[in-house]
Amino acid sequence: SQQGEEDPQALSIQEGENATMNCSYKTSINNLQWYRQNSGRGLVHLILIRSNEREKHSGRLRVTLDTSKKSSSLLITASRAADTASYFCATSDMRFGAGTRLTVKP
């Protein structure tokens, strides 16, 4: 079975709102990565957080990591219609979850 599991499976919000996606994993990790996938395309790396980090920021993205709970969250602030995509977490052994499909309505 896959290592990471995202929650929720689908999320629909209005432009300007914040979007939060969660990821749980099963085993020990060195790092956790978040990726974005536009429909019909490959994945694009967004942010990597190492196991000794608790929070990381990149532009409108904020990632947290709780290794005791084996969970991570991705927050996208001030969402835009262009943020519409699927978002995946991946563990350091390159296993992916099922993703969260985010729709941002203009």
Least distance to other proteins, CB of residue 21, Å: 14
- What is the tally of helices (H) and strands (E) in the chain? 0, 10
Task: For residue 91, give the nearest of 27, 19, 10 by alpha carbon.
Answer: 27
In the complex, minimum distance from the CB of residue 84 to other proteins, in angstroms, rounded to a whole number: 13
Which CB, 28 or 78, lies closer to other proteins? 28
3-state helix, strand, coil in the chain (%, to 5): 5, 55, 40
Residue closer to other proteins (CB basis): 18 or 50: 50
Which residue number, 82 or 98, has a Cβ lying nearer to other proteins? 98
Report the nearest approach of other proteins to the CB of residue 61 (Å): 14
Both tokens of 55, joined, read 């929070």
Token digits of residue 98 = 């099922």
Q: Which residues bind other proteins (CB under 8 A)?
A: 1-2, 30-31, 33, 35, 40-45, 48, 86, 88, 90, 92, 94-99, 101
